[in-house]
């Protein structure tokens, strides 16, 4: 298995994209540590993931510095370290203008989608250096390069995430740590007010993004696809 003896952390790993990524990582031989926002969600996901391999996890609000530090410390204690970090946890508050969105909603979005990634990377990079290298994959969005009305908070958080990812990539590449960010378009998943449905089968599926993650991890050490864009191949004609 290509990821045998590797330890992967997936934030927001209880459903949707994060859960699909956890499944694929387990199938590839990695031990996986997931986190989510509630105890029932984490327990239910771990129960299902157990059939595929070694999966552990805990509750963690990625907006909280100390919770992220503690979560990664738990991963090191239980699984021995961190080789792979997939920053997937994110929220999207859509449909509100800058005038309408509340300061708390704007703050929640940026703290989850950007500060949460910073906290995880801040604490994971030293752990990866201890292991001789690693791979950080940040799940961003095409909304991180294309702005839309009534999405200002989400746009701001993902534009910031893209810049953060590119800066981090240049900082740690000589430490044998790769950094990539994936920018999906429309995904048929739980996000904002959306839930998966058969009517949206034309959209990217969570398992498609999980396949991209595995493809990145299989890439030769000399090569770094630092940014990946993925979009529906045939969206409906409007």
Instruction: Give residue 219's pLDDT.
Output: 96
Alpha-carbon distances, residue 148 vs 106, 151, 229 (angstroms): 15, 6, 17
pLDDT at 61 over 80: yes
Kindly list the catalytic residues: 154
Closest to 195 (Cα-Cα) out of 59, 44, 15:
15
Return the closest-CA partner of residue 161 out of 128, 214, 209, 112: 112
- Give the span between the Cα atoms of 178 and 124, in whole angstroms: 13
Q: What is the pTM of this model?
A: 0.95
Kind plus residue range of the DSSP H or E element containing 138: strand 134-139
Indicate the burial class of 38 (C-beta count within 10 angstroms; 0-12, 13-18, 19 or more). Answer: exposed
Per-residue pLDDT tens digits for 140-157 = 999 899 999 999 999 999
pLDDT digits (tens, 9 = 90+) for 14-58: 999 999 999 999 999 999 999 999 999 999 999 999 999 999 999
How much of the chain, in percent, has pLDDT values that exceed 90? 88
SS3 19: helix
Residue 92 has pLDDT above 90, yes or no: yes
Overall average pLDDT of the 195-206 stretch: 82
pLDDT of residue 192: 64
Cα dist. 29→19, 54, 55, 209 in Å? Answer: 16, 9, 11, 18
Among residues 164, 156, 145, 137, the alpha carbon closest in space to that of 92 is found at 156
CA dist., res. 150 & res. 17, Å (int): 24
pLDDT at 238 over 90: no
Residue 111 CA to residue 77 CA, distance in Å, equals 27
Instruction: Kindly report, residue by residue over 93-123, the tens digit of the pLDDT.
Output: 999 999 999 999 999 999 999 999 999 999 9
Q: What six digits make up the tokens of 203?
A: 């959209």
pLDDT band at 193 (very low <50, low <70, confident <90, very high): low
Q: Which residue has the higher pLDDT, 193 or 64?
A: 64
Task: List, in order of start, the domains of the chain with CATH numbers.
Answer: 7-230 (3.40.50.720)
Looking at residue 155, what is its pLDDT?
Answer: 97
pLDDT band at 173 (very low <50, low <70, confident <90, very high): very high
Residue 188 has pLDDT above 80, yes or no: no
59-84 average pLDDT score = 98
């Amino acid at each position: 298995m290509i990821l045998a003896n590797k330890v992967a952390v997936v934030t927001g790993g209880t459903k949707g994209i994060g859960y699909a990524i956890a499944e694929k990582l387990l199938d590839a031989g990695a031990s996986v540590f997931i986190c989510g926002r509630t105890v029932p969600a984490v327990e239910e996901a771990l129960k299902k993931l157990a059939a595929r391999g070694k999966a552990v996890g805990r509750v963690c609000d990625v907006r909280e510095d100390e919770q992220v530090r503690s979560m990664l410390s738990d991963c090191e204690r239980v699984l021995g370290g961190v080789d792979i970090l997939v920053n997937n946890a994110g929220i999207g508050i859509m449909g509100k203008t800058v005038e309408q969105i509340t300061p708390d909603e704007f703050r929640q979005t940026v703290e989850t989608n950007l500060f949460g990634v910073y906290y995880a990377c801040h604490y994971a990079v030293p752990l990866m250096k201890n292991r001789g290298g690693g791979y950080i994959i940040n799940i961003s969005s095409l909304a991180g390069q294309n702005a839309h009305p009534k999405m200002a908070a989400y746009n701001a958080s993902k534009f910031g995430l893209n810049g953060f990812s590119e800066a981090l990539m240049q900082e740690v590449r000589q430490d044998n740590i790769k950094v990539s960010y994936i920018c999906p378009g429309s995904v048929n998943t739980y996000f904002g007010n959306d839930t998966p449905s058969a009517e949206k089968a034309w959209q990217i599926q969570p398992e498609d993004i999980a396949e991209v993650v595995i493809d990145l991890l299989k890439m030769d050490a000399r090569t770094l696809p630092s940014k990946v864009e993925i979009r529906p191949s045939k969206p409906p004609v409007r």
